[in-house]
Amino acid sequence: MAFSLCTFCSSSEKIDPLFFDHSRRVGELIGSEGMELVYGGASCGLMGEVARYARRGGARVTGIIPEKLLPKSIGPQEVDELIITKDMASRKAEMERRADGFLVLPGGFGTLEEALEVMTLKQLGYHSKPIVFLNIRNFFSPLLDLFEGFYRERFAKEEYRRLYAVFTDSESLFTYLKSYVPEVLPQKW
Protein backbone atom coordinates (compact mmCIF):
# COMPACT_ATOMS: atom_id res chain seq x y z
CA MET A 1 0.00 0.00 0.00
CA ALA A 2 1.22 3.51 -0.82
CA PHE A 3 2.64 5.69 1.95
CA SER A 4 0.01 8.26 2.86
CA LEU A 5 1.51 11.67 3.61
CA CYS A 6 -0.53 14.28 5.45
CA THR A 7 0.44 17.93 4.90
CA PHE A 8 -0.26 20.86 7.18
CA CYS A 9 0.33 24.23 5.52
CA SER A 10 -0.87 27.74 4.85
CA SER A 11 -4.29 28.57 3.47
CA SER A 12 -3.10 32.11 2.63
CA GLU A 13 -2.74 33.29 -0.96
CA LYS A 14 -0.85 36.43 -0.05
CA ILE A 15 2.50 34.95 0.91
CA ASP A 16 5.85 35.13 -0.89
CA PRO A 17 5.86 33.11 -4.18
CA LEU A 18 8.93 31.27 -2.86
CA PHE A 19 6.66 29.25 -0.56
CA PHE A 20 4.52 28.26 -3.53
CA ASP A 21 7.63 27.15 -5.46
CA HIS A 22 8.58 24.77 -2.65
CA SER A 23 5.00 23.53 -2.33
CA ARG A 24 4.90 22.64 -6.00
CA ARG A 25 8.09 20.63 -5.61
CA VAL A 26 6.61 18.83 -2.60
CA GLY A 27 3.51 18.00 -4.64
CA GLU A 28 5.62 16.67 -7.52
CA LEU A 29 7.68 14.51 -5.17
CA ILE A 30 4.55 13.04 -3.54
CA GLY A 31 3.58 11.93 -7.04
CA SER A 32 6.98 10.71 -8.22
CA GLU A 33 7.64 8.80 -4.97
CA GLY A 34 4.36 6.93 -5.38
CA MET A 35 2.83 8.37 -2.23
CA GLU A 36 -0.73 9.45 -1.49
CA LEU A 37 -1.72 12.84 -0.09
CA VAL A 38 -4.14 13.48 2.75
CA TYR A 39 -4.80 17.11 3.51
CA GLY A 40 -7.28 19.76 4.61
CA GLY A 41 -9.27 19.78 1.38
CA ALA A 42 -9.07 23.48 0.49
CA SER A 43 -7.98 25.00 -2.81
CA CYS A 44 -6.40 28.07 -1.30
CA GLY A 45 -2.78 28.82 -0.42
CA LEU A 46 -0.09 26.20 -0.14
CA MET A 47 -2.73 23.59 0.70
CA GLY A 48 -4.21 23.73 -2.79
CA GLU A 49 -0.82 24.08 -4.46
CA VAL A 50 0.54 20.85 -2.94
CA ALA A 51 -2.69 19.02 -3.79
CA ARG A 52 -2.79 20.19 -7.42
CA TYR A 53 0.82 19.20 -8.09
CA ALA A 54 0.56 15.90 -6.21
CA ARG A 55 -2.48 14.94 -8.25
CA ARG A 56 -0.86 16.11 -11.47
CA GLY A 57 2.11 13.91 -10.55
CA GLY A 58 -0.16 10.88 -10.25
CA ALA A 59 -0.77 10.76 -6.49
CA ARG A 60 -4.14 9.87 -5.07
CA VAL A 61 -5.38 12.91 -3.13
CA THR A 62 -7.86 12.83 -0.26
CA GLY A 63 -9.23 16.09 1.12
CA ILE A 64 -10.82 16.10 4.57
CA ILE A 65 -12.81 19.20 5.38
CA PRO A 66 -15.33 20.20 8.05
CA GLU A 67 -18.76 21.18 6.70
CA LYS A 68 -18.35 24.80 7.83
CA LEU A 69 -15.36 25.28 5.50
CA LEU A 70 -16.96 23.51 2.54
CA PRO A 71 -17.41 26.70 0.47
CA LYS A 72 -13.60 26.96 0.54
CA SER A 73 -13.13 23.39 -0.58
CA ILE A 74 -11.70 22.38 -3.89
CA GLY A 75 -12.86 21.17 -7.24
CA PRO A 76 -12.62 17.68 -8.70
CA GLN A 77 -9.35 18.52 -10.46
CA GLU A 78 -7.58 18.55 -7.09
CA VAL A 79 -8.99 15.59 -5.17
CA ASP A 80 -9.90 11.99 -5.79
CA GLU A 81 -11.98 11.90 -2.65
CA LEU A 82 -13.46 14.63 -0.46
CA ILE A 83 -14.48 13.61 3.04
CA ILE A 84 -16.77 16.01 4.89
CA THR A 85 -16.64 15.95 8.67
CA LYS A 86 -18.90 17.47 11.30
CA ASP A 87 -16.25 19.66 12.88
CA MET A 88 -12.53 20.47 13.08
CA ALA A 89 -11.84 17.89 15.79
CA SER A 90 -13.25 14.95 13.84
CA ARG A 91 -11.50 16.21 10.71
CA LYS A 92 -8.13 16.21 12.45
CA ALA A 93 -8.75 12.77 13.89
CA GLU A 94 -9.54 11.44 10.40
CA MET A 95 -6.42 13.04 8.90
CA GLU A 96 -4.28 11.54 11.64
CA ARG A 97 -5.87 8.12 11.31
CA ARG A 98 -5.27 7.94 7.55
CA ALA A 99 -1.71 9.31 7.54
CA ASP A 100 1.52 7.32 7.66
CA GLY A 101 3.50 10.53 8.23
CA PHE A 102 3.11 14.29 8.57
CA LEU A 103 4.76 17.12 6.66
CA VAL A 104 4.59 20.66 8.01
CA LEU A 105 5.11 23.47 5.51
CA PRO A 106 5.02 27.16 6.44
CA GLY A 107 1.65 28.34 7.68
CA GLY A 108 -0.16 30.29 10.36
CA PHE A 109 -2.24 29.38 13.40
CA GLY A 110 -4.05 26.44 11.75
CA THR A 111 -0.82 24.86 10.59
CA LEU A 112 0.85 25.30 13.96
CA GLU A 113 -2.10 23.85 15.82
CA GLU A 114 -2.14 20.74 13.61
CA ALA A 115 1.63 20.25 13.86
CA LEU A 116 1.65 20.60 17.64
CA GLU A 117 -1.20 18.13 18.01
CA VAL A 118 0.62 15.34 16.14
CA MET A 119 3.82 16.12 18.07
CA THR A 120 1.97 16.02 21.39
CA LEU A 121 0.31 12.71 20.47
CA LYS A 122 3.68 11.24 19.50
CA GLN A 123 5.23 12.47 22.75
CA LEU A 124 2.50 10.63 24.65
CA GLY A 125 3.00 7.44 22.64
CA TYR A 126 -0.26 7.53 20.68
CA HIS A 127 1.64 7.05 17.42
CA SER A 128 5.20 6.70 16.14
CA LYS A 129 4.81 8.20 12.67
CA PRO A 130 7.40 10.55 11.16
CA ILE A 131 6.85 14.30 11.51
CA VAL A 132 8.92 16.54 9.25
CA PHE A 133 9.22 20.29 8.88
CA LEU A 134 10.28 21.96 5.64
CA ASN A 135 12.14 24.97 6.99
CA ILE A 136 11.93 27.24 3.95
CA ARG A 137 13.97 30.41 4.36
CA ASN A 138 14.28 29.73 8.12
CA PHE A 139 10.52 30.17 8.54
CA PHE A 140 10.39 27.68 11.43
CA SER A 141 13.66 28.71 13.10
CA PRO A 142 11.98 30.90 15.80
CA LEU A 143 9.68 27.98 16.66
CA LEU A 144 12.60 25.55 16.74
CA ASP A 145 14.43 27.97 19.05
CA LEU A 146 11.42 27.95 21.34
CA PHE A 147 11.57 24.13 21.40
CA GLU A 148 15.28 24.37 22.30
CA GLY A 149 14.18 26.47 25.29
CA PHE A 150 11.84 23.62 26.31
CA TYR A 151 14.82 21.22 26.49
CA ARG A 152 17.16 23.74 28.14
CA GLU A 153 14.62 24.62 30.82
CA ARG A 154 13.50 20.98 31.16
CA PHE A 155 9.89 21.56 30.04
CA ALA A 156 10.50 18.67 27.67
CA LYS A 157 12.99 15.80 27.60
CA GLU A 158 15.97 16.36 25.28
CA GLU A 159 15.16 13.10 23.53
CA TYR A 160 11.93 14.65 22.27
CA ARG A 161 14.04 16.59 19.78
CA ARG A 162 13.68 13.30 17.88
CA LEU A 163 9.88 13.66 17.70
CA TYR A 164 10.42 15.64 14.50
CA ALA A 165 13.02 16.17 11.81
CA VAL A 166 13.80 19.43 10.05
CA PHE A 167 14.89 19.83 6.42
CA THR A 168 15.68 22.75 4.15
CA ASP A 169 15.23 20.83 0.92
CA SER A 170 12.42 18.55 -0.17
CA GLU A 171 14.66 15.85 -1.66
CA SER A 172 16.38 15.00 1.65
CA LEU A 173 13.05 15.23 3.43
CA PHE A 174 11.55 12.55 1.17
CA THR A 175 14.66 10.38 1.52
CA TYR A 176 14.17 10.52 5.30
CA LEU A 177 10.47 9.65 5.02
CA LYS A 178 11.19 6.63 2.82
CA SER A 179 13.77 5.19 5.18
CA TYR A 180 12.05 6.18 8.43
CA VAL A 181 12.36 3.76 11.32
CA PRO A 182 10.04 4.58 14.26
CA GLU A 183 11.88 6.37 17.03
CA VAL A 184 12.37 4.72 20.39
CA LEU A 185 11.50 7.57 22.72
CA PRO A 186 11.37 7.63 26.51
CA GLN A 187 8.00 7.61 28.26
CA LYS A 188 6.83 11.09 29.14
CA TRP A 189 5.54 9.95 32.54
Per CB under 6 A, does 107 bind ligand AMP?
yes
Q: How many CB atoms lie within 10 A of CB 158?
A: 12
Per CB under 6 A, does 9 bind ligand AMP?
yes
DSSP string covering 101-154, please?
EEEE-S-SHHHHHHHHHHHHHHHTTS----EEEE-GGGTTHHHHHHHHHHHHTT
Per CB under 6 A, does 26 bind ligand AMP?
no
Q: Amino acid identity, residue 16?
A: D
> Which one of residues 3, 15, 69, 157 is an interface residue with ligand AMP (CB under 6 A)?
69
Which part of the chain contacts ligand AMP (CB under 6 A), choosing from 7-15, 22-30, 134-142, 174-182? 7-15
Kindly provide the residue ranges of all beta strands, DSSP E only, lying in the chain, ordered along the sequence.
4-8, 36-39, 61-66, 81-85, 101-104, 131-134, 165-167
Q: Could you tell me how many residues of this chain bind ligand AMP (CB under 6 A)? A: 19
Contact 135, 164 (CB under 8 A): no
Which part of the chain contacts ligand AMP (CB under 6 A), choosing from 35-43, 122-130, 161-169, 177-185? 35-43
Adjacent-strand bridge partners of 112? none
> Which one of residues 4, 23, 85, 111 is an interface residue with ligand AMP (CB under 6 A)?
111
Per CB under 6 A, does 78 bind ligand AMP?
no
Per CB under 6 A, does 41 bind ligand AMP?
yes
Q: How far is CA 11 from CA 54, 56, 81, in A?
A: 17, 20, 19
Q: How far is the CB of 180 from ligand AMP (least distance, A)?
A: 21
φ, ψ of residue 62 in degrees (nearest 5) = -115, 125
Q: How far is the CB of 178 from ligand AMP (least distance, A)?
A: 23
List contacts with ligand AMP (CB under 6 A): 8-12, 40-42, 44, 47, 65, 69, 72, 107-111, 114
